[in-house]
Amino acid sequence: MKRRTFVQKLCATSLLLGASPKLLQAQSMARITPATATPGFIPDIEILLRAEVGEAALRDGEPTKVWRFAGEIMKGPQESLQFLHGSEHIPIIRIRKGQKLRIHFENHLPEDSIVHWHGLNIEQRMDGHPMYAIPPGARYVYEINIENRAGTYWFHPHPHERTSFQVYQGLAGMLVVHDGEEEAAGLPDMAHEIPLMIQDRSFDDNNQLVYIGPMRHNWMMGFRGDYVLVNGRVSYARTVDRTAHRVRIVNTSNASLYHLRWSDGSPFTVIATDGGLLAQSREQATLTLGVGERVDVWVEFSGFQAGEQMHLLAESYTPSLQNITAEQGGADLQEGARPIASFQFSDQAPIQHAPPSHLSEQPVLAEREAVNIDSPRPIDIAMRRGSFYLNNRLFGAMQDVPEENKVKLGSTEVWEFSNDSSMGMGMGMGMGAMMQMAHPMHVHNVQFKVLSRTGTRQDDALHQRLRAGFTDYGLKDVVVVMPGERVRVLMKFENHTGIYLYHCHILEHEDLGMMQNYLIEA
């Protein structure tokens, strides 16, 4: 037992110092043979995707060393793989529902890696669980039947204890699914679609990335950047026509939560959330996005004059809900928020469009069908003695599944995320109150419906302000659970059996063990 404790502490020290893990922990296991191409799988789109070390212009001055995704189309339309506007290193993959996608992932990094396809309903072996991480020089072939509805999804590395570091170095991409229902709605596309990926980063005097230091306390608090980047750029800007646009917004930061608004005070017209299109659009004054959350909004630019500008404004919050916006760099503050993306309007004649009255038919998720409607499955969030727990467990052996984490294929369940457990640090730091945090909870392989939020801090002014920006009315795969809150969600386990993950999407928390396997059984 003493040896095991020593080995665990040694591994944690290696992690916090930024060292590549050497599979020291007891939870380590023999490598699983990487997936290879199968002859019977005929892809509509085939992509070579490399994770590699490179450079990118993240802000003015010297280029920044990054870890990046690069690649090429092997089969299918060239527009199936592009880079986000303004970016040199953030890809966007486009595909249609019902198509087959094959991706040859090659690891050209100096350490193990694997890719998780965030939001997709997908086979276990294709989901990017850390048990499948491949070493430098290896290849993993993903073969994915696209079963999801049209929507904005994304992808990122998911190796255990290195997810936070690898994503921070630049490894993230957007995946957009299209379908006939979306086309029938007549939504803006192509030149009138604006994908925006939000991240925060810090730089040294030579424009190189600076990550958090080796102190465990820093990891528990999550990374906070000195600048907010959009599509990999500080001070993102683009020229747009004066007509309706679809703006796809994804929070791919390590830990930061963003409270967004338009500079002209106009509301957001929300047309989609994590799990795709709504039935009808919804208006709200602000948006609040935790890590991993997505939202698509309809924005009408026809009322602006040529040459005018409008800005997307953001307030940045740490997991402990500390507002750090004023401490960050970038464009000048506007009423407490910082412009993170600027749109200048072209001299093309304005064309006005109204959002469609009907967007899509919603998948049926009926609470009455839940097998545990009277006793929701509890997911208790807690931190004790410097470690984060889910149901009193740290992430254990790669394939271990507690008996209470087993569900049945085809069943519908209610889960309750409880963020009102004891959060005392037990390390003599006297910071228990400070460590009350908002946790964005992500469940792999499903889209769920938020049923309720209850808690002891419902009257807190900041909580009310941030909650007003949530999009709980849409299908979700990430939900922010505020301090002192309990959130009930409804989900159905469809199409695939196997081991999947649920975890906090604050990447440092995930790497510190705030993650669990669950098993979908036949």
DSSP 462-475: HHHHHHTT--TTS-
User: Looking at domain 31-178, does it have CATH number 2.60.40.420?
Assistant: yes
Helices and strands (H, E) in the chain, number of each type: 6, 30
The pTM of the full predicted model, rounded to 2 decimals, is: 0.92
What integer best gives the mean pLDDT of the chain?
A: 91
Evaluate whether 31-178 and 190-345 have a shared fold: yes
pLDDT of residue 385: 74
Please check the confidence at residue 102 and state whether its pLDDT lies above 70: yes
Distance, in Å, from the CA atom of 53 to the CA atom of 104, rounded to the nearest integer, reads: 18
**Mean pLDDT, rounded, for 426-445:** 69
What pLDDT shows up at residue 435? 61
| Residue 282 β-bridge partners | 270
Q: What is d(CA 270, CA 282) in angstroms, rounded to the nearest whole number?
A: 5
Q: What average pLDDT score do residues 247-268 get?
A: 98
CB count within 10 Å of CB 374 equals: 7
* Cα–Cα nearest to 476, from 365, 373, 369: 365
Token digits for 42?
A: 């005929």
Q: Which CATH number fits domain 367-521: 2.60.40.180, 2.60.40.420, 3.40.50.11740, 3.40.50.970?
A: 2.60.40.420
HEC secondary structure over 216-284: HHHHHHCCCCCEEEECCECCEEEEECCCEEEEEEEECCCCCEEEEEECCCCCEEEEEECCEEEEEEEEE
d(CA 458, CA 453): 9
Residue 26's pLDDT is 32
For 369-392, the pLDDT digits (tens) are 999 999 999 999 998 777 889 999
The class of domain 190-345 in CATH terms is mainly beta
Domain boundaries in the chain? 31-178, 190-345, 367-521
Q: Rounded to an integer, what distance in angstroms lies between the CA atom of residue 494 and that of residue 247?
A: 30
What pLDDT sits at residue 15?
Answer: 41
| Best CA proximity match to 51, nearest among 97, 11, 104 | 104
| Per-residue pLDDT at 21 | 37
Q: Where does the pLDDT of residue 125 fall: very low under 50, low under 70, confident under 90, or very high at 90 and above? A: very high
Do 217 and 257 touch, CB atoms closer than 8 A? no
pLDDT at 218: 78
Given this model, what pLDDT does residue 17 score?
40
pLDDT at res. 30: 66
pLDDT given at position 457: 80
β-strand partners of 105: 49, 140
Q: What share of the chain is helix, strand, coil (3-state, %, to 5)?
A: 10, 40, 45
